[in-house]
Amino acid sequence: MSIFIDKDTKLVVQGITGRDGSFHTKQMIEYGTKVVAGVTPGKGGQTFEGTVPVFNTVYDAVEKTGANTAVIYVPPMGAADAIMEAADAGCALVVCITEGVPVLDMTKVYPFVKEKGARLLGPNCPGLISPGASKVGIIPGRICAPGPVGVVSRSGTLTYEIVYQLTRAGIGQTTCVGIGGDPINGTNFIDCLAAFEKDPHTKAVAMMGEIGGTDEQEAADFVKHHMTKPVVGFIAGQTAPPGRRMGHAGAIISGSAGTAAEKIDAFKAAGMGVAKRPIDFVDLIKAGLK
């Protein structure tokens, strides 16, 4: 099984005719994802690659094709409206790949999506993939394999590294989720951990955090009190200087709460395995699966 997406996922791609949207739509179709529609205002009536109908609005796309999931490849200044349009049209899951969405915009988007009963993944995330079933976003399908490990990460490229190491060692994944590293995102570690805990086919979880904020500490507390499955954690940015933003907008240390040391201590206190390097996930996950 998997979380959030599966073989029944019907995807609408917002920004399907743009450079990034068209490139990754081809990749998703090749992987086997059911891409049922695309949206580019003003280009309704066209088709993408001769098979995927393009609509002017997400509402029309959902009404005509039954799409239940949206993925967004539109410029930052239009991303907030695109997220709200997808949620308002009835998409249960909205995945925003776009980087650079203004934080002020997200303060309006987050409650709107919640009110509509939808789940938002991102923004500034690589999306997710359930190996052998569906891929929504930009995670390379060739590095993934079906198996018993759930993966959740704030970092896109770190997600790829961990997944590659696991697959190379013969350890497949149920679902790999990149939640994004912006200060305000739609789905957090706890959301994913709770879903993995409920999924009968997920036997262990690999979790990649980074400096800044307290999300990892809160996730560790959830693991301690609510998880029955083994969880292995890693924190990126262990050598980052205090007060300096490192890549992600959320990866900044303010005081002591966001340091790598504080997060690692929280992991250990929760009984989690702690990886010092990405390659360490292999042995730690193997131990947890025994």
Catalytic (active site) residue 24: no
Quote the distance between the C-alpha of residue 133 and its chain's center. Answer: 16
Concatenated DSSP letters for 16-74? TTSHHHHHHHHHHHHHT-EEEEEE-TT-TT-EETTTEEEESSHHHHHHHH---EEEE--
Residue 174 tokens, joined: 């149920």
How many other C-beta atoms lie within 10 A of the C-beta of residue 214? 14
Which of the following is catalytic: 24, 225, 226, 248? 248
Of the candidates 80, 15, 66, the one whose C-alpha atom is nearest the C-alpha of residue 36 is: 66
User: How far apart (Å, rounded) are the C-alpha atoms in residues 201 and 113?
Assistant: 29
How many helices (H) and strands (E) would you count in the chain? 9, 14
Q: Which residues are catalytic?
A: 248
